[in-house]
Structure 1
Amino acid sequence: MMRSAALPRTRADSLLWTLSRAANKSQLWWFIGGALALRRGSARRAALRGVAAITGGSVTANLLGKPLFPRRRPAAELVPEHRRLIRQPTSSSFPSGHAASAAAFCTAVAMESPVTGLAIAPLAAAVAYSRVHTGVHWPSDVGAGALLGIAVGLGTRHWWPLHPDSPARTAHQAEAPVMRDGEDMLVLVNPGSGSADEDPSDEARFAWPKAILVYPETSRDIRGQLAEEIRSRGGAIRALGVAGGDGTVAAVASVAAEHGLPLALIPAGTLNHFARDVGVGSMAEADAATEAGSARGIDLGEVEIVGVDGTERRWFVNTASLGGYPEMVRLRETIQQHHPKWPAALIAMTRALRRARPLHVVLGGKPTRVWLVFVGNGTYSPKGFVATSRPALDTGLLDVRYLRADVPYSRARFILAVLTNTLHASHVYRQVDLPELTVRLLDGNRRVATDGEVGPLGNEFRFRSRPSALTIYRL
């Protein structure tokens, strides 16, 4: 501390003073996380993991560490006046919350994107040191905060395992035509997927200059629109393409499966779960696969919805769910008309959880009450609350998870199990892999959500796995 205070006055003083203030309440890291989230792939995953680590680091340092280890801050007179902060903090000096947040964010980002983490590391170190330079922390406060932040960043893997870089395996062999420049290919491009500032049209035109590009019509269902386009061309279409997010991909994939056409995809959504599992990470990879005619067969999920207007069938490439999630999606779409996507999703989730009502269902032939039912296309990993990846796309199984509502304090017990990562031993959570599942409601009608899109009302839902239902271009 005294050595730092004795340093001569330089231009670095004002920079460190500014950095220290910018990192108040983790504002600096939230800003960087937001910027990273605008990019696709590992940068976006790094942003999400970094934000989660910030939350954990701040809570641990400020709500647990400081009350448990009260310590006076250094006297303001120990550092030159020009370095002192305008508003001196009054909380316990030990540990440093700024150092904890900086280290947690940097560590979490580095796990998903080592290059990005390396670029952020000097900034994180500067923020941590700035707390000593401005005289509001002892060096030991900063050291303890940094160690705490690193531990929290690494600890995110306990609840949220790292996604493997390798694509999910599939033993299903498939044949697909070589598509030179996208000739005889019908491609649906959704400019509304992902970031509002990014239109995937240019990527689609570059990859497949001879393809027929169509765009979603607001007054029509994508499935019906594409089916009519295919019929109008009298069998001339040899493959389908899509540039969009998971919801758009799911709609186009269902048409491809029903018409027996191979599918090529350009990931252009927010998270691109399906493209990541399939192993198509960019437009260049999609282009190379179609030019080589390289394809694989993968399983799809299917749900038959029995309602008052008859039976409707829907495919899903990732997940389907009943309960709170469809309500959250409906609320998000309404709120999103006036707010950005991520705040709208947060508001919708909060409201949906508060309003949630148990579902009275017959599940697997047995009557019970549940808060929600999750059905994954294929077996997901890990088996806890957050399903992040699929090791294989050829299992012929559905990943069924549900939260029981027929035991006392089930939601509180569920939250506790999630926080302690003990869902595998919880009495309120169940997970099983099945080839098919029927869920029948005993108290009216509900909507099912498939790949983030809300479906029609129904009182019986028949889920099943369809092995090798879709042929997809991939190297």
Structure 2
Amino acid sequence: MSSPSSTPAAPAVDRLRSWLQGRDLAVFHSVANRHWPGADPLLPQLSRSANHGLLWVGAAAGIAAFGSSARSRRAALRGVASLAVASAAINTVGKSAVRRRRPRVDLVPVVRRLKRQPVTTSFPSGHAASAAAFATGVALESGGWGAVVAPVAAAVAASRVYTGVHYPSDVLAGAALGIGAAFALRGIVPTRGQLPAPGRPPGEAPALPGGEGLVVVVNRASGTAPATASLVREALPLADVVEVAPGGLATALTDAAGRGRALGVCGGDGTVNLAASAAATHGVPLAVFPGGTFNHFAYDLGIETVQETAAALTAGDAIRVDLGRFRPGPNGEDGADGYFLNAFSLGVYPDLVRTREHWSSRIGGWPAGVLAAFHVLRGQRPLEAELQGRRRPLWLLFVGNGLFQRVGPAPGRRHNLADGLLDVRVVHGGRTPALRLLAAAVAGPLTRSPAHAAVRRRRVRIAGLAPGTPYAYDGEVAHSGEELTIDKLPEALTVYCPMPL
């Protein structure tokens, strides 16, 4: 009587395993015996450069630095995060699951061999997994950068067989694991393309092919605005493009809104804020060309390039969006109104903005933001204010124009730019501002705890402020009186915006 293990299928499985191993070895020998012109000095060096993911970290830094767009930065970040997931899977499960010996090193020519031979098991290839994970992660956010990275990733994977440290099946399994890691991360943290389109109540705006009738004001000192202005002139040759210094922005925007059929603006969120006020006052639609450091409003519209805005102008595609408003006094009767497209804030954030602006021209926007957060949170004291009739210490009061959703651990994007609501987030006073701010960011909208709260409101009243208390709106800093009222003007602004397919 045969044992349970000696089933008719067992010989077939053994034959298949033997055949696969034979093919694996045959391909390995074929590669080892073939000379590829120029590969001997290149592939071993490329293989060594990818040790510990250093090649991909450097590539991510290059993409973020030279891409000059939020899409490039997201691609770099997702590539590194995907690599980290793949590396964790390889080191905790992959290498211990199948303990396969490395190929014999003497099967490949000496000139190809690595100076330091790996000591871990052969299956699967960690280098191939990291390369595939990084390239896939980048491609999920940016097809253009993915096409640039993919050949390098393929060369790194091939180098592992060429240098004799892996069998072909090790590389294929590693690549499959890396691709899977990138898609698994996307399931947890969606790419921007997976997120639902923002709320888009349609707006009335004239079609302006070639930019005829459009006056574009460019903030000469804002981020990438000067370079973006050249792209605007190329895409919209009939538009009137005016470059001005920061001190002349308000006058230039008011003049442009009065003489054009539409007002265009190229700059960061502070510049766009001034343009929105001018456009709403004159009743003309606004065309936004992202040219600042962060460009939050443009990206929430789904606009990341000049071509996207140009296409909306040509077709006359536009939407209506809410305009946030802050007013001095308990009922807004004590002075001129101010407006915000993204957010208004009190507490540590205005100081963070001022410190970031001081350093951004020297070291760049994102490093300056990290430095500013470290500097501001050290030795600060909470703000004392009366919020909705109750006096309390506050580290931060954030009022968003529309509900901010989370993309990962922090508030990221608004899905509806015309919801009529304010996203109010309060971080209460305490001894650990950094931990409280982090907890509030991780918790997201519509939560409450002893350290923070997040609610929706149509109106917020703040009293008991020390005169001259700094506040921030759309990246700009100003100073308050004793009271402020914050509300919004529903669908007050028409903005050119490409329609989803």
TM-score range, shorter chain: 0.7 to 0.9
Match of 1:246 in 2: 269
Listed as ranges, the matches of 1:62-101 within 5 Å are: 81-86=110-115, 98-99=127-128, 101=130
Listed as ranges, the matches of 1:165-180 within 5 Å are: 167-171=197-201, 174-179=203-208
Q: Distance in 2 between matches of 1:46 and 1:214?
A: 33
The reply on whether 1:317 has 2:341 as its aligned counterpart is yes
Listed as ranges, the matches of 1:60-209 within 5 Å are: 81-86=110-115, 98-99=127-128, 101-114=130-143, 116-117=145-146, 120-128=149-157, 130=159, 134=163, 147=177, 150-151=180-181, 154-155=184-185, 158-159=188-189, 162-164=192-194, 167-171=197-201, 174-179=203-208, 182=211, 185-195=214-224, 199-209=227-237
Return closer, same or farther for 1:271/1:329 CA change in 2, 3 Å cut-off. Answer: closer
Structure with the bigger percentage of helix? 2
Give 2:229's aligned amino acid.
S
Listed as ranges, the matches of 1:257-296 within 5 Å are: 257-270=280-293, 272-280=295-303, 282-296=305-319
Q: Distance in 2 between matches of 1:47 and 1:391?
A: 24
Q: Distance in 2 between matches of 1:322 and 1:22?
A: 47
TM-score with structure 1 setting the length = 0.76
Q: Distance in 2 between matches of 1:91 and 1:164?
A: 38
Match of 2:497 in 1: 474
- C-alpha displacement of 1:247: 3.1
Structure 1 residues 249-271: Cα deviation after superposition (integer angstroms, max 9, x where no partner)? 22211221233222122333455
- C-alpha displacement of 1:20: 2.1
Return closer, same or farther for 1:95/1:207 CA change in 2, 3 Å cut-off. Answer: closer
Q: Distance in 2 between matches of 1:163 and 1:356?
A: 39
- C-alpha displacement of 1:397: 0.7
Return closer, same or farther for 1:14/1:135 CA change in 2, 3 Å cut-off. Answer: same
Structure 2's unaligned 5+ residue stretches are 1-23
Q: Is the 8 A contact 1:305 1:461 kept in 2?
A: yes
Q: Distance in 1 between matches of 2:274 and 2:422?
A: 19
- C-alpha displacement of 1:301: 1.4
Q: Distance in 1 between matches of 2:218 and 2:495?
A: 17
- C-alpha displacement of 1:364: 3.1
Return closer, same or farther for 1:137/1:381 CA change in 2, 3 Å cut-off. Answer: same
- C-alpha displacement of 1:17: 1.4
Match of 2:405 in 1: 381
Return closer, same or farther for 1:294/1:126 CA change in 2, 3 Å cut-off. Answer: closer
Match of 1:216 in 2: 244
Q: Is the 8 A contact 1:275 1:281 kept in 2?
A: yes
Give the greater-gyration-radius structure (CA): 2
Return closer, same or farther for 1:24/1:404 CA change in 2, 3 Å cut-off. Answer: farther
The reply on whether 1:23 has 2:50 as its aligned counterpart is yes
Q: Distance in 2 between matches of 1:73 and 1:355?
A: 56
The reply on whether 1:401 has 2:425 as its aligned counterpart is yes
Q: Distance in 2 between matches of 1:29 and 1:426?
A: 40
- C-alpha displacement of 1:120: 3.4
- C-alpha displacement of 1:464: 1.5
Structure 1 residues 279-336: Cα deviation after superposition (integer angstroms, max 9, x where no partner)? 4454444345445544332111122367xxx855432222333334333322222223
Q: Is the 8 A contact 1:183 1:210 kept in 2?
A: yes
Return closer, same or farther for 1:180/1:65 CA change in 2, 3 Å cut-off. Answer: closer
Return closer, same or farther for 1:422/1:333 CA change in 2, 3 Å cut-off. Answer: closer
Give 1:367's aligned amino acid.
R
Q: Distance in 1 between matches of 2:365 and 2:395?
A: 25
Residue identity (%) = 40
Q: Distance in 1 between matches of 2:128 and 2:103?
A: 20
Structure 1 vs Structure 2 CA RMSD:
4.5
